Amino acid sequence: MFKNFFASITHNAISLIGTALALAALVLIASLFTMEQFGFEGGPYLGILTYLILPMIFAVGLVLIPIGAVLYRRKIRRTSGGADTPVLPVFDLNIPKTRRWMFIFLGATMFNIIILASATYKGVEVMESVEFCGLACHSVMEPEHTAHSRSPHSRVACADCHIGPGADWFVKSKLDGAWQLVSVALDLYPRPVPTPLHDLRPARDTCEQCHWPTKHVGDKLRVIKHFEEDEANTELTTALLLRVGGASGSDSSGIHWHVDPNMAIRYRSDDTREEIYEVEYTNADGELTHYADRKAPEEGGVWRTMDCVDCHNRPSHIYQSAANEVDRIINEGLVDRSLPFVKREGLRIIDAQYPSHEEARAVISEELQKFYAENYPEVAAEKSDAVEAAGIALGDAYAVNVFPGMNVWWDTYPDHIGHEQSPGCERCHTKKMRTADRKQITNDCDTCHVLLAEGEENPHILSVLNSE
Ligand code: HEC
Ligand code: HEC
Ligand code: HEC
Ligand code: HEC
Ligand code: HEC
């Protein structure tokens, strides 16, 4: 009876291997888990090992045990030539010893279920973590991971925007995810990862977990510093009062008017969403206004309902243009502004395609030093530290925006906020987008912002604001 069963799982290699695997995995899970409880930080891979890989081995071990037992009994039946050994073990619950074994067996099964259930729970948590998304597919997601870690959303998990709550999208994204892992393993994925993401979950279910579409932001002051490409790297200031607006009462105004839940804007565009063909605006009373670009193709393209992501397409993966990046590092003091022509030369040197980050850093530093050695030998001698630091800062700026391994260059991923890096708002707010009776979607500057200063040296408005 039970001895039979016990024999069938201890006398065959498959069951023994299964038991060994399950036991080894269990001991490892328990010790890694204990280490984690004592504050040992093993990095993201430890979580992946403890809660994904080891539990898988554990489960495989458990499955092997009965498989081995059944195969073993079959063999016994065949060799003993008799039908007296049934395929499956026979349990006689009238025998006290069998009953005792039965309880032990049930207890062990419960224990296994608890282990697997908690591992699954923690495993899901690990798969949702930024580290897993970013590192498990290290080379593929390196651009997104790097940009994300520098963004205002660096503490928001990838999954909060890409999956959101609820089982249906979870399953969908995990199925997609499984395919993505295969394509990473077999090196099938496209470089760069194409944008936009056509199956991104609607912003209602992701962004709006944390942001209210009806929040009134009002006017927002933005002060932007640029540096001219002259010898003195003249500082130019632009100050904008952005009319972000939003809902107030039953009305909404300004830029966030587009996401008023009482109305809807739909548009038809090409696959990249850079070229918009026609726009349909339905107001709160259900009246429809139709705008179209008369030169656009009449058929084809994709229809989409506008949401947060049509403007905020880079809330987390923010890549700057080369010029803005040089402005930033000068403004932050990482590059010494007293170096003659450092804006012009810095921009010339980084706005290029280098085969790797290492090569970029080396060539950028070398080129900058060469420029000063040839044109300003006295600067090269007296400020050699500043020139060296500038070379390093330019290399760093390159490495967080450009990813040669993934074919991500300065202009690969357009930003739709504004109209500098890409047409952005001007995809719709243009003379071309008109109704049948020639009414245009406005492109009047003041609709969106009040320009307090535009590329000025020491604008008066800043002294007013600073004196408050
Ligand atoms: C604040 C929300 C948010 C977070 C957090 C976030 N993403 Fe994204 N992600 C987006 C949006 C929005 C897009 C682009 C939407 C579009 O234009 O289709 C995007 C696009 C992408 C793309 C496509 C390429 C591109 O840049 O357009 C990849 C790959 C990606 N995300 C991976 C990640 C990874 C990995 C993480 C975590 C390290 C992450 N995302 C975190 C919102 C987010
Ligand atoms: C899990 C919560 C969460 C989710 C989901 C989320 N955000 Fe945010 N978002 C934040 C927090 C927190 C901040 C404030 C960060 C700060 O002040 O530094 C923020 C800031 C922002 C900002 C202001 C950035 C700036 O430059 O100051 C924008 C724009 C924004 N989010 C858009 C989005 C969009 C679009 C989505 C959906 C694709 C989204 N967020 C999803 C939490 C979230
Ligand atoms: C028509 C384009 C557009 C749409 C649609 C849009 N936004 Fe914005 N949003 C903007 C602009 C422009 C700004 C100001 C940009 C800046 O600060 O540089 C802004 C600013 C913000 C800010 C920062 C506000 C602050 O107090 O600093 C948040 C947060 C934000 N948006 C979230 C959202 C969310 C969530 C949605 C969707 C419900 C959304 N936006 C839809 C254009 C848009
Ligand atoms: C449909 C709305 C809209 C219209 C129309 C518009 N802008 Fe803008 N503009 C923006 C937004 C949004 C930004 C981005 C602010 C930011 O970077 O957060 C911007 C940024 C700018 C900047 C700063 C760019 C920089 O980085 O230095 C200037 C200058 C500017 N606009 C000038 C104009 C002028 C001049 C007009 C009229 C011919 C105009 N804009 C029309 C929405 C608009
Ligand atoms: C998909 C098309 C589309 C895009 C992209 C778009 N808009 Fe609009 N926007 C519209 C339409 C349609 C209207 C309504 C025009 C009308 O009433 O005549 C509008 C109206 C506005 C208004 C006036 C709101 C009011 O109070 O009546 C502002 C401000 C505005 N947009 C700013 C922006 C900014 C800033 C961006 C870029 C960040 C942007 N829009 C991108 C379609 C778009």
Note the pLDDT tens digit of each residue in 326-375. Answer: 999 999 999 999 999 999 999 999 999 999 999 999 999 999 999 999 99
What's the 310 CA to ligand 2 centre distance in angstroms?
15
Q: Which residues are CB-neighbours of 15 under 8 A, at least 6 positions away?
A: 8, 9, 64, 65, 66, 67, 68, 69, 72
Ligand in closest contact with the CA of 260: 3
Q: What is the pLDDT of residue 78?
A: 81
* Most distant CA pair in the chain, distance: 104
* Probe target for ligand 4 pocket from 425, 449, 461, with the most ligand atoms within 8 Å of CB: 449
For the chain, the structural domain boundaries read 2-128, 131-193, 218-316+416-466, 322-406
Q: Which amino acid is at 59?
A: A
> CA-CA distance, 423 to 303, in Å (whole number)?
19
Q: Which residues are CB-neighbours of 394 under 8 A, at least 6 positions away?
A: 326, 329, 335, 346, 349, 350, 364, 365, 368
Asked if 214 and 247 count as a contact pair (C-beta separation under 8 A), the reply is yes
> CA-CA distance, 44 to 62, in Å (whole number)?
27
Cis peptide before 213 (omega within 30 of 0): no
What's the 182 CA to ligand 1 centre distance in angstroms?
20
Asked if 161 and 309 count as a contact pair (C-beta separation under 8 A), the reply is no
> CA-CA distance, 134 to 162, in Å (whole number)?
13
* Probe target for ligand 3 pocket from 156, 211, 244, 419, with the most ligand atoms within 8 Å of CB: 244
Q: Which residues of the chain have pLDDT under 50?
A: 1
Asked if 35 and 42 count as a contact pair (C-beta separation under 8 A), the reply is yes
What's the 448 CA to ligand 5 centre distance in angstroms?
8
Question: What DSSP element (H or E) covers 18?
Answer: helix 13-37
* Probe target for ligand 2 pocket from 158, 211, 212, 220, with the most ligand atoms within 8 Å of CB: 211
Q: Which ranges in 301-423 belong to alpha helices (H)?
A: 308-311, 322-331, 342-350, 357-375, 377-382, 384-401
Asked if 274 and 415 count as a contact pair (C-beta separation under 8 A), the reply is no
Measured from the CB, is residue 276 less than 6 Å from ligand 1?
A: no
Region of 413 (left: φ > 0; alpha: ψ -120 to 50; beta: rest) is beta
Q: Say if strands 218-227 and 235-248 run parallel, antiparallel, or are unpaired.
A: antiparallel
Q: What is the pLDDT of residue 312?
A: 96
> CA-CA distance, 16 to 64, in Å (whole number)?
9
What's the 245 CA to ligand 2 centre distance in angstroms?
17
Dig out the tokens for 228 from the structure.
Answer: 């001219």
